[in-house]
Structure 1
Amino acid sequence: MAFWDFAKKPKFGGPHVIVLDFGSGSVKAVVVSLDEVKKIGYVIGIGREYYNQQQGASNFRGIEGGIEVAKKAINQALTAARAKTSECIVVYNGDTLKGVLHVWKERRQNPQERIYDAEFQGILERALKNASENAVAKDLSVFKPVIASAALQRLEIDGYHVVNPIGFKGAEIEVKLLVFYLASGQKGFFDEIVGVLKLSARGLVSSVFATTLAQMKHSLTQFGAIVIDIGQTNTDVIVARDSIIEGIQSAQIGGKAITEGIMETFSLSFEEAVQKKIQYELGELDQVETRKLENGIRGRVELLRDSVVQALKGFSETAGGFPEKVFLCGGGIRVSLVKKMFSQNSWLVGLPFPKQPSIEVLLPSDIKDVIDSTESLEGPSAVPLLSAVRWLTRNYNISSQADIILRKALQVFNQSGKQ
């Protein structure tokens, strides 16, 4: 029996699901009550536990430490929610996850015959096998990459876009999949945590991918956008164009580097530096200390900016250039000097923007169909997690036939041991 089976009566009806976010410095657990009719997620409990005593240190301390940290975070969330559930979705970030757009084309032997489920599933299985082989060949900057999940981006039959290929005829089918890879050791690590805690994982999602989807549905035009998620030790960048998410590029730097700059500048401990950063944001430092802090972190902020530029250069150029919207989110953007630097257009020089884009900091109010009943998820740092909650409301029970077949193809592919 799992440790949460004796929780109290829930506050809300509807299915309850844990959103389990393995961040670079901590594990966050959010209990969500789903309204399946209205597609709304209610956040009713939150828990967070750091990997070790020094907040922000990215050290799991082995599988036992990871299990204990996740268990504490889940227990906090379930206790606050007065709920019990073993269902969860797992949220991964760029330092553990890579997202690559994979294109697979296949000629059909009998173009005059209609496409049915079995044939389409076979096409998807071959697409996944090819994506896995390409990832191993390229190494993707991770050790022994394995496919953790995938999302359909576009389907075409003989050059014509279709939402669902079932029932269509045609000679050639093209599939564009956003494929998510984990290092094999990392996937095994997280799978073991979920297994030991007797959780039932209903899905996996990248936080920046979920954030991009949330904006594509509500505030983006067909021309797309760039989403930059500045986390604690990692910054994720996504480019979406023509309703297609083209992949995830990551930079190994985030808000923790700025905190470390404050530590060095003032000879403080990590916790003291965090407090100094809070005082700076609240305007509680005098002019001398403010100037000293800004000078001390400026080089790191510029390195963060330059790393984002390099990540953007990793995306292929198209005739239309980059989209005209840039969205910023994540805890790192709360630092006013970071926000100021990214809110200016000077860092965009040399990138293929057809004109100066609009730059906007995302807030929880920008994530629709999610209600934070705890009233504790605030600021840009809450946006990726709330976006994952919104993704859950759309993917708890998949209704799209093409997505259902993709899920089956992923299950068959993973069970086949081909990666």
Structure 2
Amino acid sequence: MSTILALDIGTEFVKAVLARPAKKGNLEILGVGKAKQAEGNMHAGAVADIPAVVVTCEEALVKVEKQAGERAGLTVVGIAGELIKGNTTTVRYSRKNPNKPITEAEMNDIIKKVQQKSGEVARKTVALETGNKNVEVRLINSAIVSLTIDGYKISNPIGFKGSDVVIQFYTAFAPLIHVAAIEKVCAELNLDLLTVAVEPFAVCRACLGDDLESSFSSVVMDIGGGTTDIAVVEDGGVEGTKMFSIGGRSFTHQIAESLGVDTATAERYKLDYDSGKLDDRIKAKVETALSRNLSVWLTGVEVALEDFDISGSLPRNVLLCGGGAGLSLLQETLAVSDWYQSLPFSRRPVIHLLDVNELPNLIIGEEDHLDHSFATALGLLRVGTDTLAGAPEENKLKAKLAKLLQN
């Protein structure tokens, strides 16, 4: 079976993971590659310098293909940034003929109408934020969050009879210019682009694995170099995704400004903060700078979570991933401070650093050395298998539904 390459083009690093679909919905990791980005390669999570990003991606590809012993096949690339709009829409309708089974054509019609409506909302929002009324957006991801027929929750509507149908759809749109940049990068690298996926959506897919009946619920925070991406998953369905442009690099810049050092030294101070390598005087100054930036970052988290249209409480389980999540002060602040009190949590959230070795349906070798910073790449692999599951030659109901949700 063909390999799948996940390419996570981040602000600080490009991460590449090559895998092969295995039995029982598993993914076998074949190789891992990582390369550091230059300062100007990315802006707010989006590609800013295509030739420079191509060079960095090539460096990561050489590493992953050398470890795997084979070339990359189909490729899934992540996309992030404040202009990515992911929301959940609820559709309620009464069927004229409740004794007639729901068909693929009926579902296709509903999905297309929701995607068109959501796309127009996303376009207007991006146009307002950018000041460009002619901005174009493209559908990136679409998934059914939940579906009930006559009050009964089901996972696949095709073939069911009933009158009252309530469907929640998650759709995510990105500005065409961002998608086109990713397509250009893949073309320059001679990669066969299978699909582009919104990164927090991909992380959620990694947590859910191959289990369509999963009851997994969590707030997922992916803290990258340039952005923080937040997703809410309730009972196995992605309720929505939000992003804001504060990530690990902003902590580095705060240290540089506060201590009067260059960014390379500030980055080293940040990484050494938890290692015990800093003397007490420097560590105290670094902690003050980190705390100042954490206050701003927490405000971003609160604003993002307030923007979710949640009827009940937010899930208490909070999973952290991405390179910025490794900062102990950030984890401790989330765990013990009162940042959550104005938000609809039933009780204090429980904070966990995501352990990729506990993600379902992954076969990871000890030599792969994967940590929480690779969660997005692993999720992109899962999106790749979802996309392949919708191939025309598959005739299962699951595959038919997946095909309907392709863009």
Query: Does the 8 Å CA contact 1:55/1:271 hold for their aligned counterparts?
Result: no
Letter in 1 for 2:58: K
Mean Cα displacement is larger for which, 245-254 or 68-77?
68-77
In the aligned structure 2, how far is the partner of 1:198 from the partner of 1:107?
48
In the aligned structure 1, how far is the partner of 2:38 from the partner of 2:356?
28
SS of structure 1 residue aligned to 2:339 = helix
Query: Does the 8 Å CA contact 1:367/1:387 hold for their aligned counterparts?
Result: no
- Which residue of the partner structure matches residue 178 of structure 2? 186
In the aligned structure 2, how far is the partner of 1:344 from the partner of 1:41?
36
Report deviation, 1:305: 1.5
- Which residue of the partner structure matches residue 160 of structure 1? 152
- Which residue of the partner structure matches residue 401 of structure 1? 397
- Which residue of the partner structure matches residue 143 of structure 2? 151
- Which residue of the partner structure matches residue 27 of structure 2? 41
Report deviation, 1:294: 0.7
In the aligned structure 1, how far is the partner of 2:88 from the partner of 2:188?
33
Q: CA 1:376–1:257 in 2, change beyond 3 Å: closer, same or farther? A: farther
Query: Does the 8 Å CA contact 1:40/1:390 hold for their aligned counterparts?
Result: no
Selected match of 1:331 from 314, 323, 327: 323
Selected match of 2:291 from 271, 274, 298: 298
Q: CA 1:272–1:375 in 2, change beyond 3 Å: closer, same or farther? A: farther
Letter in 2 for 1:231: G
Report deviation, 1:256: 0.7
Report deviation, 1:222: 4.1
Letter in 2 for 1:176: Q
Report deviation, 1:55: 8.5
Q: CA 1:185–1:392 in 2, change beyond 3 Å: closer, same or farther? A: closer
Between the aligned residues of both structures, percent identity stands at: 24
In the aligned structure 2, how far is the partner of 1:53 from the partner of 1:322?
36
1:288 is the counterpart of 2:281: yes
Letter in 2 for 1:20: L
Q: CA 1:146–1:221 in 2, change beyond 3 Å: closer, same or farther? A: closer
**Structure 1 residues 326-383: Cα deviation after superposition (integer angstroms, max 9, x where no partner):** 2222211212221211121422122222222322221222323323337354443233
Selected match of 2:303 from 310, 315, 330: 310
**Structure 1 residues 31-76: Cα deviation after superposition (integer angstroms, max 9, x where no partner):** 11331x1333232222334443678876845443344433343233
Pairwise CA RMSD? 2.9
Output aligned runs, 1:247-262, within 5 Å.
247-262=240-255
- Which residue of the partner structure matches residue 237 of structure 2? 244
Query: Does the 8 Å CA contact 1:327/1:359 hold for their aligned counterparts?
Result: yes
Query: Does the 8 Å CA contact 1:51/1:61 hold for their aligned counterparts?
Result: no
Q: TM-score, normalised to structure 1's length?
A: 0.83
Q: CA 1:61–1:80 in 2, change beyond 3 Å: closer, same or farther? A: same
SS of structure 2 residue aligned to 1:52 = coil
The count of residues paired between Structure 1 and Structure 2 equals: 395
Q: Which runs of 5+ in 2 are unaligned?
A: none
Q: TM-score, normalised to structure 2's length?
A: 0.86
**Structure 1 residues 215-259: Cα deviation after superposition (integer angstroms, max 9, x where no partner):** 4569x9848221112111111112223433210111210111111
Q: CA 1:361–1:258 in 2, change beyond 3 Å: closer, same or farther? A: same
Report deviation, 1:300: 0.4
Query: Does the 8 Å CA contact 1:216/1:224 hold for their aligned counterparts?
Result: no
In the aligned structure 1, how far is the partner of 2:249 from the partner of 2:270?
11
Query: Does the 8 Å CA contact 1:100/1:248 hold for their aligned counterparts?
Result: yes
**Structure 1 residues 121-178: Cα deviation after superposition (integer angstroms, max 9, x where no partner):** 2222222122212222333846533212211212233443222222223344333211
Query: Does the 8 Å CA contact 2:229/2:241 hold for their aligned counterparts?
Result: yes
SS of structure 2 residue aligned to 1:114 = coil
SS of structure 2 residue aligned to 1:83 = coil
Output aligned runs, 1:213-252, within 5 Å.
213-216=205-208, 222=215, 224-252=217-245
In the aligned structure 2, how far is the partner of 1:367 from the partner of 1:90?
20
Query: Does the 8 Å CA contact 2:2/2:74 hold for their aligned counterparts?
Result: no
Query: Does the 8 Å CA contact 2:42/2:49 hold for their aligned counterparts?
Result: no
